[in-house]
Structures are given as structure tokens and as C-alpha cells.
Amino acid sequence: MLGLFRKARLPSAGAGRVSVVIPLYNHAAYIGAAVESALAQGPVLREVIVIDDGSTDSSAETMRQVAVRDPRIRFRSRPNQGAHATINEGLDEATGEFVAVLNSDDAYLPGRLDALVLRLDAEPGAALAASGIAFMDGNGAPVENGWYREAMAFREGRDTATALVNANFLMTTSNYLFRRDLPGRIGGFAALRYTHDLDFALRALALGYGIALLEQPLLCYRQHGANTISEDHRKVRVEWAASAAAYLTLLWDRPGAPEPDWDAAGGMAEVLRRHELTRMVPPCMAYLRRHGGGRLDTSPLLADEAFRARMLDWA
């Protein structure tokens, strides 16, 4: 799997600094490789917290067998509540200075945690770090991803938020490493099925926390038929628009917000037009101004079935 476990002399960020949170759901075939890729990160790893989100396959039993191999692994299983809730539970239990998320079908490449921690050490204004991504198929063989290449090319010369709304080049929560106190400052992951990662990153940016990006691929993203992004695209678009609306509302309306960057606002408007999101974003911003102030993690919007049904019609 792309040389996942090869040995290499890499810079060290120190010992016991990172907690890895793995939300596990129906990935019995992949969870062993995911955990091993975390353990292979070396001394910087403090613990691996695996929470089985009510899997209906043999994931929990497979993970019980894996968990006995290393004392740094903490595992438990409970009924299904969704990826966002599972990640938030893991964040609450984490004890490291930094927290990294790893979805149960992905894998870290060697030196990832050290490299990202060192980057945040060097950039105190950044609270979240991510890397470039390599891709593999269900069998672990390398594959190309043209969408990702285009998304990375688009970000050149544009602000990070506009590039993320155009195409979430961070791809996945597996690409996130952040300071453990960040969720306490900006809130946890919202109850979104498809864009909880995008919303979290945009919320950090809206509140003034930088994102540090390493260009080299240090994450291996697994492409297979069960990826959530391959589901009903109208539902994806609803969450995409809600995340963009939340970012703009929080950026412009929060107490003490500076004068908007009108050039950036124009670039964002063009992205929303290009992806035909303009019908959904303004009503969503109006809703958030009345309820939640731009925070999807605290707003009643995501539980408002009537409003979400309207958005689905608009999509």
C-alpha cells in the first residue's frame, strides 16, 4: 500500500504529542491497515482512540483483535450516531497536545504526524494542518484522481476559503491535525453527513485561525464504492451550500468582524455562481442570522426538516 510501512529517517516532533481518533463504521477489511498506519508514526503518537459507530459487519470483532496488540489503542463500540458525533466523542477523550482524525478506510503515510506537528510548531497563527493526498483503490493499489488535481490547481492565487468552497481540496477529516483546544474555541463537528469536514475548516478560517498545508502527500485516501461522496449529489449540494452560507455569515456578521475583503467576496460569489449554489446560499444565510449566527454546530438549521426539504428542492 504505497510503501506504507517503509522505514525512513524523518524529523521528530517529540514524544507523545498526538492523539489519533478513528471513527469506525463497516470497514472490517480496512481498519487493521488504518490502525497500523497510525502506530507506525512512531514516538510522536500518544494514543489511538477507535470508536465503532454501530457497524453491522465484523468491524468491531476485527478491531477487538487489533486492539490487544498495542497498549496505546483504546477501543469501544456503541450504537450508530454518525461520523460527526463519533469524532466529537473521540476529541473529548483525547489527551494529546494535538489531535488527528483518521477515517477507518484511509491510511497515514510515514512521517505524517511529525511533519504536521512541526509545521504547527513553526506557525503559531495556524491551528489546523493538512497535507497533500495520494489515492488508492479498495485493494490498496495506487490510483489517479483528476478532480483533486484540478482542485489543487484552482487554489493557486486564491484565498483558502474560496478555494475550499470551490472544491474541498482537503478532501476528508483524515487530512486534519489540529491543536486539541481548537474545538473548544470554534465548536466541534456539526451534524453533517457529507461536509462536516468542510464546515469545520471554514469555521476555523472565519474565526481567524489559519490552516497550514504541506504540499507533499502524507495521507492515503481510499476510493471505493461505499465512499459517502458517491451518494445522492443533491444532498451533498445542500450541505455544501449550508457550509458556504455558515462561513460567510460568521465571517461578516460575528461581533468585531472587520470590513469584508470585497475582492475575496467577489471571488466567492463567482464560485457560488459557477456551482449553481446561489439559490440556496442567501436564504440559508438569512436563516443562520436569525438562528445560530453562522454556526451550523449550534444552529437548529440541520434539524429543521422543513427548511432542509426546501433546500433540497432548490438544489
Q: Is the dihedral of CA 247, 253, 258, 261 positive or negative?
A: positive
In a domain, 283, yes or no: yes
Distance from C-alpha of 135 to C-alpha of 145, rounded to nearest angstrom: 7
Question: Does one domain contain both 109 and 154?
Answer: yes
- The one-letter amino acid code at 210 reads G
Question: Does one domain contain both 126 and 181?
Answer: yes
Alpha-carbon Rg for the chain, nearest whole angstrom, is 19
Reported as a single tens digit per residue, the pLDDT across 214-225 is 999 999 999 987
Interhelix angle 233-253/281-290, nearest 10 degrees? 50
Find, among 234, 181, 187, 220, the residue nearest to 103 by Cα: 220
Percent of the chain with pLDDT over 90: 91
When pLDDT is averaged across residues 288-297 and rounded to a whole number, the result is 92
pLDDT, position 11: 87
Task: Compute the mean pLDDT over every residue in the chain, rounded to the nearest whole number.
Answer: 95
pLDDT at residue 5 tops 50: no
Reported as a single tens digit per residue, the pLDDT across 76-87 is 999 999 999 999
pLDDT, position 230: 56
Question: Does one domain contain both 41 and 97?
Answer: yes
pLDDT, position 231: 64
Distance from C-alpha of 78 to C-alpha of 173, rounded to nearest angstrom: 21
In a domain, 6, yes or no: no
3-class secondary structure, 75: strand
Supply 237's cell numbers: 449540494
Reported as a single tens digit per residue, the pLDDT across 248-292 is 999 999 989 999 999 999 999 999 999 999 999 999 999 999 998
Burial 256-278 (b: 16+ CB within 10 A, else e): eeeeeeeeeeebbeebbeeeebe
pLDDT, position 292: 81
Q: In this structure, are residues 98 and 17 in contact, taking their beta carbons and an 8 Å threshold?
A: yes
Reported as a single tens digit per residue, the pLDDT across 10-57 is 789 999 999 999 999 999 999 999 999 999 999 999 999 999 999 999
Between CA 152 and CA 51, with CA 190 as vertex, the angle to 5 degrees is 95
Question: Does one domain contain both 152 and 55?
Answer: yes
Question: Does one domain contain both 247 and 99?
Answer: no
- Structure pTM? 0.94
pLDDT, position 87: 98
In a domain, 101, yes or no: yes
Question: Would you mind telling me the total number of residues written for the chain in this entry?
Answer: 315
Distance from C-alpha of 89 to C-alpha of 283, rounded to nearest angstrom: 32
- The one-letter amino acid code at 238 reads V
Least confident residue range of 128-132, 219-223, 230-234, 259-263: 230-234
Question: Does one domain contain both 80 and 94?
Answer: yes
Beta bridge partners of 98: 18, 179
- Helix (H), strand (E) at residue 177: strand 177-179
pLDDT, position 122: 97
In a domain, 37, yes or no: yes
Percentage helix, strand, coil for the chain under 3-state DSSP, each rounded to 5: 45, 20, 40
> Which range marks the domain in which residue 238 is found?
233-314
Can you give the three-state secondary structure of 256-290, one letter per residue? CCCCCCHHHHHHHHHHHHHCCCCCCHHHHHHHHHH
When pLDDT is averaged across residues 143-152 and rounded to a whole number, the result is 97
Distance from C-alpha of 2 to C-alpha of 227, rounded to nearest angstrom: 20
Find, among 10, 38, 13, the residue nearest to 24 by Cα: 38
CATH of the domain at 161: 3.90.550.10
When pLDDT is averaged across residues 53-75 and rounded to a whole number, the result is 98
Question: Does one domain contain both 119 and 173?
Answer: yes
pLDDT, position 63: 98
In a domain, 11, yes or no: no
Q: In this structure, are residues 151 and 72 in contact, taking their beta carbons and an 8 Å threshold?
A: no
3-class secondary structure, 29: coil
Supply 84's cell numbers: 460527526
Under DSSP, the state recorded for 35 is H
Question: Does one domain contain both 49 and 193?
Answer: yes
Residues 6+ apart with CB under 8 A from 105: 27, 30, 31, 34, 222, 224, 226
| Number of C-beta neighbours around residue 299 at 10 A | 21
Question: Does one domain contain both 91 and 74?
Answer: yes
Domain end marker among 199, 230, 261: 230
When pLDDT is averaged across residues 290-314 and rounded to a whole number, the result is 94
Question: Does one domain contain both 77 and 156?
Answer: yes
In a domain, 61, yes or no: yes
Question: Does one domain contain both 188 and 279?
Answer: no
Domain end marker among 179, 204, 230: 230
pLDDT at residue 149 tops 50: yes
Reported as a single tens digit per residue, the pLDDT across 86-113 is 999 999 999 999 999 999 999 999 999 9
Question: Does one domain contain both 72 and 52?
Answer: yes
In a domain, 102, yes or no: yes
Domain end marker among 184, 214, 230: 230
Q: Tell me how many domains the chain contains.
A: 2
Q: In this structure, are residues 38 and 67 in contact, taking their beta carbons and an 8 Å threshold?
A: no
In a domain, 123, yes or no: yes
Percent of the chain with pLDDT over 70: 95
